Structure 1
Amino acid sequence: MFDRNQGGLAPSTRKTLGLVSVFGTALYLCLSILSWVFSGELALVPFTSSSLPPMADLGIDSVHHYDLADYTGSARGQDRNERVLFLVPLRDAAAHLPMLFAHMDKMTYPHVLIDLAFLVSDSKDDTMGVLLKELNTLQSNRDVSKRFGSIEIFEKDFGQAVGQGFSDRHGFEAQGPRRKLMARARNWLLSVALRPDHSWVYWRDADVEKVPTTIMEDLMSHDKDVIVPNVWRPLPDWLGNEQPYDLNSWKESDAGLRLADTLDEDAVIVEGYAEYATWRPHLAYLRDPFGDIHVEMELDGIGGVSILAKAAVFRHGAHFPAFSFQKHAETEGFGKMCKRMGMSVVGLPHYTIWHIYEPSDDDLRHMEWMAQQDELREKERVLKEAHDKVWQSGFDNVKQEWERERELILKNVELDFDVHQKVRAKKAEEQSKAEAKVHGPEEEKVVPGVGKAALQPDAVKKVVQG
């Protein structure tokens, strides 16, 4: 139990209202005994609410008097201070709770008029821990107007064995048993949380991604016994961007009635499966993104993602069938039951809220295949770039580059030639000096009749010429 004024988690001290019936029974017996004493015979006094003395005369703090005619619900609930019971069944919902509380914090309906009740059941994750953390944060808000009225958390398992994966929850074979168990959970939560001063009951799934902040006032303004919005979900681009999600809101068809007559008494018809071709008009498929959001469509079955109902609907005996009621169960059976009891059940085809996208097993397999294809395409791209580079290089004009390289090559060759010439000349000189040391200076050759001077080049020339 959370104390709105103090903020945070407080001890669960709220007393039940059972004292009303206990006091009434005791008063009934006392009046009967007094009647027998004074009349000499036992006479049962008819006991009605009018038999109770006025509240001012009772003087008992624990006894409360409610006139349920004051809590029937109206189109202007916020102006009449009508209390709303906000009910959220939870199972393995830890990942979705921050999103849910972000939406709740932005709701424009007066928070003080909203009482919250959560049912945590059959969970394997830390739903309870995350829930307590979010509630403490919510109720500790410095802005008191953001705090909600009373808050209750209930924990009870119902033996739900169906997995929480998209394909598990939406598999055809699981639908009947799963819907019946969900109906039990809804009825249980409603029975322990509904109070006499509640005028409206709002059911909400935790995994809603986008929702108008004015959804309470918007749905309430139609003043219907039971009303639901349209529910779609976003999709990845390769699946078409968006898709109808909740196919459980529909109007009955002749084909659906004929199908129901052929099924066993415990069978549960579910929409969106080839095994049950009902050909019913679905609220989801009538959506026009630019349509009038106030347009109404009469329904027979309804989905459970977001339901606003007058509290009087449940006080009159309507509930979520945990059995096959007219071959339907849970929310669809609830819609059928309300229609059977003469209540108004409508949906808003152009007023849309958005459920999160949850990939099915087929989607996951396809996404894995797409990832593999992306990897192959990347490898092909790299190989193609390398191939194109090599191929293109065969057609490049390399004349200028060759001229530069040729220049460098020739320059290097000339330098090498000069160096080699100098090295050879130096080696020859060194070799000549070495031989001269060994053999001594060469003797001058004297040609008979010719002097030394005659052996000089010019002299030789003259001799020859002469």
Structure 2
Amino acid sequence: MLPLHESSPKGKMHRHAYSNGHTAYPSMGGSGTFSIQPHKFQPRSQPLRRRRQLIQRLLLGFSIFFTGIFWFFPHLRPNLGSGPLSLFSSNDEFQLETVRYYDLNNVGGTARGWEREERILLCAPLRDAAPHLPMFFSHLKNLTYPHNLIDLAFLVGDSKDNTISLLTELLSDLQAAKDPKQQFGEISIMEKDFGQKVNQDVESRHGFAAQAGRRKSMAQARNWLLSAALRPTHSWVYWRDVDVETAPFTILEDLMRHNKDIIVPNVWRPLPDWLGGEQPYDLNSWQESETALALADTLDEDAVIVEGYAEYATWRPHLAYLRDPYGDPDMEMEIDGVGGVSILAKAKVFRSGVHFPAFSFEKHAETEGFGKMAKRMKFSVVGLPHYTIWHLYEPSVDDIRHMEEMEQEKKKKEAEEAAKKERLDKIKDQFDFPSSQWEKDKTTIHNMAVKEEKQAGGSKKESETPKKEKKFAKPEKIHDVRGEERIEKKPAPEKLERIEQ
């Protein structure tokens, strides 16, 4: 219903007024109609219409321009998917260049991976490793597994020497080899410090006091390296220390043929002859024992058991001590702890969640904790007691002290022999010096001796001559039993006549 307007003053509507005195509605003229002033209230439609027309023309021009470009240059057409706009696409299927598809069912790892072209990720943690890198790269060159199927990953941490620069140089030379079979696949170098303050000498690294913290720090380094370098295309992961001195060139194939989830060889080291010639090195590969389990129950939750120390008598069967130089190298032994010198593992082990614990896991850390965790998750963990690789010999403090004593003793003996020889030479120079007079006297004495011998020989011949001319006794000469001579004489004629008379 429309409002009614009365003519009386009471019927007028009161509205809010503007500041200039005008009401909110327009004034009414004398005829009683509204007076609309077009010059104040009518919008200016001409400029808006022109602006709208300009925008429409610009849009039409851009549409014609891009349509022409996509028509004459098909490779510039964007991939618009499978919708209605896909008609403008140059591909029949929906594809994005940033999407990668991997079938992880085909990267499980098999016994003959080199025939199926299974890729291996070779991981090597490094710290002050410059002295060992040339030897390590010589081993890499000699590997018989196809090099193009091996990806290399290095993590350099807490190093103070030129490990990074030397590593870069050796990798450049390796990849620039003329023989394409020598070149490896993808190579990654990561640098990450973990605050490791334990020195790299043998006594510090293998001292009992530093073991727990050192193992946890090394576990962090391994996990960082693995997480950064593992790709969906890898079927195997091979961990290798750079200070391995001798190993078979076929070690990857030899370990892979067993088709185990985790497998390690036996690790020994050579020793000088005066120390026995050889010695077990890696004692971290072992079978669990009841004594060790009982010991673990008595330790704190953060404690880490390490093998080879009197503080932890575990009485575990160690892989290293079961070695027979003439045993079958393919003989397998189930183990619980794993040594980190040389480990071949299927990549699915790590993808399933097994890692190197940087904490006390069942009273173990790093590689030994890795073996325990894998066993807990029902993976096969195997060691080869008679398949041996050799670690570089690093003399301990006691060895160095003993070698210094031996060196001092050797020098002392050499000095004594040199002094003795000098005395003999001096005596020889003083009393055996050749001179003309001495030679004359010696010749004279020699001639006199020869002459006396001749004279003695002549007199001897003369004395022997009568004896030779002496004849045997006459028949009349008779010998009695006692050797005395008795001669039978004939009586004289006179005496015979007297007898006859």
> TM bucket by the smaller chain?
0.7 to 0.9
- Deviations along 1:205-260, whole A, 9 cap, x unmatched? 11111111111100000000000001111111111111111011111111111111
* Counterpart check, 1:151 vs 2:179: no
1:404, 1:170 → 2: CA distance? 76
Shift of 1:67: 1.6
Once the two structures are TM-superposed, the CA of residue 365 in structure 1 deviates from its matched residue by: 1.0
Distance in 1, matches of 2:109 and 2:224, equals 22
Equivalent of residue 203 in structure 2, options 163, 167, 173: 167
State how many pairs are aligned: 354
1:364 deviates by 1.1
Q: In structure 1, what residue type is equivalent to 2:316?
A: R
Amino acid at match of 1:104: L
1:63, 1:401 → 2: CA distance? 108
* 1:401-435 deviations in Å (ceiling 9; x for gaps): 74636999xxxxxxxxxxxxxxxxxxxxxxxxxxx
In structure 1, distance between residues paired with 2:442 and 2:305: 88
Quote the Cα distance in structure 1 between the aligned partners of 2:233 and 2:281. Answer: 34
Taking only the aligned residue pairs, the percentage that are identical comes to 65
Q: Which residue of 1 aligns with 2:305?
A: 269
Matches of 2:439 and 2:228, distance apart in 1: 95
Name 2:387's counterpart in structure 1: 351
1:396 Cα deviation (Å)? 8.1
Once the two structures are TM-superposed, the CA of residue 281 in structure 1 deviates from its matched residue by: 0.7
Structure 2 partner of 1:309 = 345
Distance 1:230 1:401 in 2: 77
Partner of 2:173: 137
Residue 387 (structure 1) shift: 4.8
Cα–Cα, structure 1 residues 193 and 390, in superposed 2: closer, same or farther, change >3 Å? same
Shift of 1:362: 1.1
Distance 1:73 1:395, change over 3 A: same
Residue 284 of structure 2 aligns to which amino acid in structure 1?
N
Residue 398 of structure 1 and its aligned partner are, at CA, apart by 10
Q: Does 1:124 align with 2:157?
A: no
Which residue number corresponds to residue 111 of structure 2? Answer: 75
Q: After superposition, what is the alpha-carbon deviation per residue over 1:252-295, rounded to whole angstroms, capped at 9, x for unaligned?
A: 11111111111111110001111111111111111111111100
Match of 2:335 in 1: 299
Distance in 1 separating the partners of 2:429 and 2:172? 69
Please name the residue that 1:30 is paired with: none
Aligned partner of residue 320 in structure 1, secondary structure: coil
Amino acid at match of 2:158: D
What's the counterpart of residue 218 of structure 1? 254
Residues 387 and 73 (structure 1 numbering): CA distance in 2 closer, same or farther, change over 3 Å? same
Given candidates 243, 249, 265, the residue that maps to 1:207 is 243
- Give the TM-score normalised by the residue count of structure 1: 0.73
1:379 aligns with 2:409: no
Cα pair distance change 1:58/1:312, threshold 3 Å: farther
Determine the C-alpha separation between the residues in 2 that align with 1:169 and 1:399. Answer: 69
2:361 equivalent in structure 1: 325
Letter of the 2:272 counterpart: P
1:366 aligns with 2:414: no
Query: Unaligned stretches of 5+ in structure 2?
Result: 1-91, 445-501
SS class of match (1:63): coil
Structure 2 CA distance, aligned partners of 1:407 and 1:206? 75
Q: Which moved more, 1:332-341 or 1:393-402?
A: 393-402
Separation in 1, partners of 2:142, 2:229: 23
Q: Does 1:250 align with 2:286?
A: yes
Deviations 1:31-69 (A, max 9, x none): xxxxxxxxxxxxxxxxxxxxxxxxx94411221111211
Matched, 1:230 2:240: no
Deviates more, 1:389-398 or 1:234-243: 389-398
For the pair 1:95 / 2:128, whether they are aligned, the reply is no
Task: For structure 1, list consecutive stretches of 5 or more residues without a partner in the other structure.
Answer: 1-55, 409-466
User: Structure 1 67/378 Cα, relative in aligned 2: closer, same or farther at 3 Å?
Assistant: same
Letter in 2 for 1:296: E
Map 1:384-423 onto structure 2 (within 5 A).
384-387=420-423, 402=438, 404=440
Structure of larger gyration radius: 2
Paired AA for residue 187 in structure 1: N
Identify the residue that residue 219 of structure 2 maps to in structure 1: 183
The answer on 1:113 being equivalent to 2:149 is yes
Q: 1:406 to 1:314 in 2, by over 3 A?
A: closer
State the distance in 2 between where 1:193 and 1:364 align: 39
Larger RCO, structure (CA 8 Å, separation 6 or more): 1
For residues 339 and 201 of structure 1, the distance between their equivalents in structure 2, rounded to whole angstroms, comes to 18
Distance 2:431 2:297 in 1: 79
Task: State the alpha-carbon separation in 1 of the partners of residues 434 and 152 from structure 2.
Answer: 80
TM-score by length of 2: 0.68
Residues 346-391 of structure 1, C-alpha deviations (whole Å, 9 max, x = no match): 0101111111111111111111111101110101112333455678
Partner of 2:97: 61
Deviations 1:97-140 (A, max 9, x none): 11111111111101111111110110000000000000000100
